[in-house]
Amino acid sequence: MYQKEIEDLKTLASWLDTRFSIPGIPINFGIDALIGLILGIGDTFTFTSTLYLIAKAHKLNVPLHTKLMMVWNGFIDWLIGLIPFFGDLFDVAWKSNKRNVDLIIAHLEKEQDKKIIL
Protein backbone atom coordinates (compact mmCIF):
# COMPACT_ATOMS: atom_id res chain seq x y z
CA MET A 1 0.00 0.00 0.00
CA TYR A 2 2.81 2.42 0.86
CA GLN A 3 5.35 0.97 -1.57
CA LYS A 4 5.50 4.09 -3.78
CA GLU A 5 5.97 6.39 -0.78
CA ILE A 6 8.69 4.15 0.64
CA GLU A 7 10.60 4.06 -2.67
CA ASP A 8 10.32 7.84 -3.07
CA LEU A 9 11.59 8.40 0.49
CA LYS A 10 14.51 6.00 0.00
CA THR A 11 15.48 7.78 -3.22
CA LEU A 12 15.33 11.17 -1.51
CA ALA A 13 17.45 9.95 1.42
CA SER A 14 19.97 8.50 -1.00
CA TRP A 15 20.38 11.79 -2.87
CA LEU A 16 20.61 13.79 0.34
CA ASP A 17 22.93 11.54 2.34
CA THR A 18 24.61 8.69 0.43
CA ARG A 19 24.51 9.19 -3.35
CA PHE A 20 28.17 10.03 -3.96
CA SER A 21 31.52 8.56 -2.99
CA ILE A 22 35.17 9.21 -3.59
CA PRO A 23 36.86 6.27 -5.34
CA GLY A 24 38.98 4.25 -2.94
CA ILE A 25 37.29 5.66 0.16
CA PRO A 26 34.38 3.65 1.61
CA ILE A 27 32.45 6.74 2.71
CA ASN A 28 29.27 7.93 1.00
CA PHE A 29 27.90 11.45 1.13
CA GLY A 30 25.07 13.37 -0.48
CA ILE A 31 23.88 16.78 -1.52
CA ASP A 32 23.20 17.67 2.11
CA ALA A 33 26.91 17.37 2.98
CA LEU A 34 27.96 19.32 -0.11
CA ILE A 35 25.62 22.24 0.57
CA GLY A 36 26.63 22.11 4.23
CA LEU A 37 30.15 23.12 3.20
CA ILE A 38 28.89 26.67 2.61
CA LEU A 39 29.80 28.34 5.90
CA GLY A 40 26.97 29.83 7.88
CA ILE A 41 24.07 29.27 5.53
CA GLY A 42 24.67 25.78 4.12
CA ASP A 43 23.50 23.86 7.17
CA THR A 44 20.58 26.19 7.74
CA PHE A 45 19.51 25.73 4.12
CA THR A 46 19.80 21.94 4.31
CA PHE A 47 17.61 21.92 7.43
CA THR A 48 14.75 22.46 4.98
CA SER A 49 15.06 18.79 4.01
CA THR A 50 14.22 17.94 7.62
CA LEU A 51 11.18 20.20 7.46
CA TYR A 52 10.08 18.57 4.20
CA LEU A 53 10.39 15.09 5.69
CA ILE A 54 8.44 16.14 8.78
CA ALA A 55 5.68 17.52 6.55
CA LYS A 56 5.68 14.25 4.60
CA ALA A 57 5.55 12.30 7.87
CA HIS A 58 2.60 14.40 9.02
CA LYS A 59 0.69 13.61 5.81
CA LEU A 60 1.40 9.91 6.39
CA ASN A 61 0.01 10.11 9.96
CA VAL A 62 3.32 9.45 11.66
CA PRO A 63 2.87 9.90 15.43
CA LEU A 64 4.08 13.02 17.22
CA HIS A 65 6.86 11.28 19.16
CA THR A 66 8.39 10.06 15.88
CA LYS A 67 8.16 13.53 14.35
CA LEU A 68 9.90 14.91 17.45
CA MET A 69 12.70 12.39 16.94
CA MET A 70 12.96 13.63 13.37
CA VAL A 71 13.23 17.23 14.57
CA TRP A 72 15.96 16.14 17.00
CA ASN A 73 17.93 14.40 14.21
CA GLY A 74 17.72 17.51 12.06
CA PHE A 75 18.59 19.82 14.94
CA ILE A 76 21.72 17.82 15.83
CA ASP A 77 22.73 17.81 12.16
CA TRP A 78 22.22 21.57 11.94
CA LEU A 79 23.87 22.48 15.25
CA ILE A 80 27.02 20.40 14.89
CA GLY A 81 27.13 21.16 11.18
CA LEU A 82 27.75 24.81 12.04
CA ILE A 83 31.22 23.94 13.37
CA PRO A 84 33.71 24.39 10.52
CA PHE A 85 35.38 21.18 9.27
CA PHE A 86 34.28 18.97 12.21
CA GLY A 87 30.65 19.74 11.44
CA ASP A 88 31.15 18.73 7.81
CA LEU A 89 32.69 15.40 8.85
CA PHE A 90 29.87 14.86 11.33
CA ASP A 91 27.29 15.58 8.63
CA VAL A 92 28.74 12.85 6.42
CA ALA A 93 28.53 10.36 9.30
CA TRP A 94 25.22 11.40 10.93
CA LYS A 95 23.01 11.20 7.81
CA SER A 96 19.97 12.79 9.45
CA ASN A 97 17.81 12.50 6.34
CA LYS A 98 18.38 8.76 6.11
CA ARG A 99 17.62 8.43 9.82
CA ASN A 100 14.39 10.37 9.38
CA VAL A 101 13.33 8.40 6.33
CA ASP A 102 14.03 5.19 8.25
CA LEU A 103 11.73 6.43 11.03
CA ILE A 104 8.93 7.13 8.53
CA ILE A 105 9.40 3.76 6.82
CA ALA A 106 9.38 1.92 10.15
CA HIS A 107 6.05 3.57 10.98
CA LEU A 108 4.55 2.75 7.56
CA GLU A 109 5.66 -0.88 7.79
CA LYS A 110 4.26 -1.14 11.31
CA GLU A 111 0.93 0.24 10.14
CA GLN A 112 0.89 -2.13 7.18
CA ASP A 113 1.58 -5.09 9.48
CA LYS A 114 -1.34 -4.03 11.71
CA LYS A 115 -3.68 -4.04 8.71
CA ILE A 116 -2.53 -7.49 7.66
CA ILE A 117 -3.15 -8.88 11.15
CA LEU A 118 -6.61 -7.33 11.34
pLDDT per residue as tens digits for the range 59-100: 999 999 999 999 999 999 999 998 988 988 998 999 999 999
Task: Give pLDDT tens digits for 7-36.
Answer: 999 999 999 999 999 999 999 999 999 998
* Global confidence as pTM: 0.89
Helices (H) and strands (E) in the chain, counts: 6, 2
Q: Other C-beta atoms within 10 Å of 103: how many? A: 18
Domain span holding position 88: 3-117
Residue 118 in this model has a pLDDT that exceeds 90:
no
| Cα end-to-end span (Å), the chain | 15
Q: How many domains does the chain have?
A: 1
Instruction: Evaluate whether 71 touches 29 at the Cβ level (below 8 Å).
Output: no
